[in-house]
Amino acid sequence: MHPASHKAKTSGTESKTVPGQSLEEVVSRRIIASYRKRLDWILRIPEWEPLFEKGLQTLELPGPRKGIGLRAALNALLIENKYSLIRWVINHSRHRFSSAHTKKICADFGLDLFNSLDLDAHLTGRQWTKFQNALLFRLSREHRRYKHAQALLFFKYQDLIEITVNRTVFDPAKRRDCVQEGCLALLHAIDKVDASKASLGAYAQMWIGRQVRNYLMGERFPVHVPINLASKTLRHTPREEGDPPAKKEPAAERKMAVLMERLRQPSVSLNDVYDDSGSLAEQLPDEDSVSPRAKIMRKDLHELVGELIQNLTDKQREVLEMRFGLNGHPEGQTLAEISRVIGISHQQVSMREKRALQKLEDVLGPYLSEILA
């Protein structure tokens, strides 16, 4: 073979691989990206939206909730959960299925089942049964290919979990749980990959670090606190007296340093022995006992809130009662749900809520400051 032709063939082969990525990783990323894209298209079929919502409840998967609609809930699912949901919907679908959707799915999954001339606007019962069985079989095969690609990427990047946990977690009692959280985060990162040249390692490390920090923040509070609120509170904690100003340190790095320092502080178990007189839990004061002064102030505050709500306009009071489940209304509703019930726009509902809360805050501010002092 001529040296020039050999050089041309070699350079042509190398041009197909991305620098820094092995051929296995490139192929695996393409398999996952293609499979996710086809599943996402099926999850956007409008005729199946009621079944998707019902399937999420039946399979006990994260579904629509306050601030998150059905579409966002479906997009946030892991590929494994998307696959389970789609199989459930296909098995429980009883409505006539569009031939246009059938053609698209057959093309995506390489199914040659029907002649276009034989199809009407919707599949017949016999055609649906044939399509259903073939699609379920092809989905199973494609899912096995996805799982194999996922495993290859997971084992390649699993060292990032140990690296991140070692840098973040100093409490030995929490390390095992944090490793599990890191595994889930790595799976999330793998499910989001595409076939681009972007580094999967950097993307996965970002997911793992965020998941571990969120878990640690959740463990730091005795009750459930929204993670975004906890992160914002910790980052904006004022600097204690005697601490160096650190003016040269960038603001973002300084906030993250404060957050990580709070998370690294060791926690104390209530079951630990306190001196020789029993566990620490037995030595703690009774938090349920409230001083008479606090009881009176809370009673006055409760009565004041009731009077203030009555002094709001009818429209503002209606929005607050529906938003927070007051005066016989069911548990709090989203702004979108309230807008549908009242018959006004989402923005108008939001403005009414803000005006009502601002009125309450102006009057209740001094009382709350004294009670929480």
Ramachandran category for residue 216: left, alpha or beta (phi over 0 → left; psi -120 to 50 → alpha): alpha
Q: Is the same domain home to 140 and 212?
A: no
Q: Is the same domain home to 127 and 39?
A: yes
Q: Is the same domain home to 185 and 228?
A: yes
CA 78 to chain centre: 10
Report the CATH number at residue 351: 1.10.10.10
Please report whether residue 7 resides in a domain.
no
Q: Is the same domain home to 140 and 162?
A: no
Q: Are 153 and 146 in contact (CB under 8 A)?
A: no
Please report whether residue 10 resides in a domain.
no
Has residue 265 got a pLDDT over 70?
no
Q: Is the same domain home to 117 and 217?
A: no
Has residue 220 got a pLDDT over 50?
yes
Q: Give the position of tokens 């209304």.
A: 329
**267-316 tens-digit pLDDT:** 555 455 555 555 555 555 565 666 666 666 666 667 777 777 777 888 88
Q: Which has the closest alpha carbon to 155: 192, 197, 200, 198?
A: 200
If you average pLDDT over each of 1-10, 178-187, 263-272, 286-295, which comes out highest?
178-187
Q: Is the same domain home to 88 and 192?
A: no
Q: Is the same domain home to 64 and 135?
A: yes
Q: Which has the closest alpha carbon to 284: 297, 269, 294?
A: 269
Q: Is the same domain home to 121 and 184?
A: no
Residue 108, both tokens = 């995506």
The mean per-residue pLDDT over the stretch 198-205 comes to: 86
Please report whether residue 13 resides in a domain.
no
Residue 218 CB neighbours (<10 A): 14
29-34 LR contacts (CB < 8 Å, sep 24+) = 29/149, 29/153, 29/193, 29/194, 29/195, 29/200, 30/195, 31/145, 31/146, 31/149, 32/79, 32/146, 32/149, 32/150, 32/153, 32/190, 32/191, 32/193, 33/193, 33/194, 33/195
Please report whether residue 14 resides in a domain.
no
* Residue 48 CB burial class (10 angstroms; 0-12, 13-18, ≥19): buried
Please report whether residue 97 resides in a domain.
yes
Please report whether residue 283 resides in a domain.
no
Please report whether residue 265 resides in a domain.
no
Residue 322, both tokens = 């529906």
Residue 267, both tokens = 């926690």
Q: Is the same domain home to 97 and 216?
A: no
Q: Is the same domain home to 65 and 40?
A: yes
Q: Is the same domain home to 127 and 163?
A: no
Q: Are 371 and 301 in contact (CB under 8 A)?
A: yes
Q: What pLDDT does 315 receive? A: 85
CA distance 335 to 348: 10
Out of 96, 118, 148, pick the residue that ends a domain: 148
* Residue 276 CB burial class (10 angstroms; 0-12, 13-18, ≥19): exposed
**33-64 tens-digit pLDDT:** 999 999 999 999 999 999 999 999 999 998 88
Please report whether residue 126 resides in a domain.
yes
Please give the tally of structural domains in the chain.
Answer: 3
Q: What angle do CA 10, 15, 18 make, to 5 degrees?
A: 130
φ, ψ (nearest 5 deg) of residue 232: -65, -40
Instruction: pLDDT band for 242, please (50, 70, 90 cuts).
Output: very low
What is the extent of the structural domain holding 360? 292-371
Q: Is the same domain home to 103 and 132?
A: yes
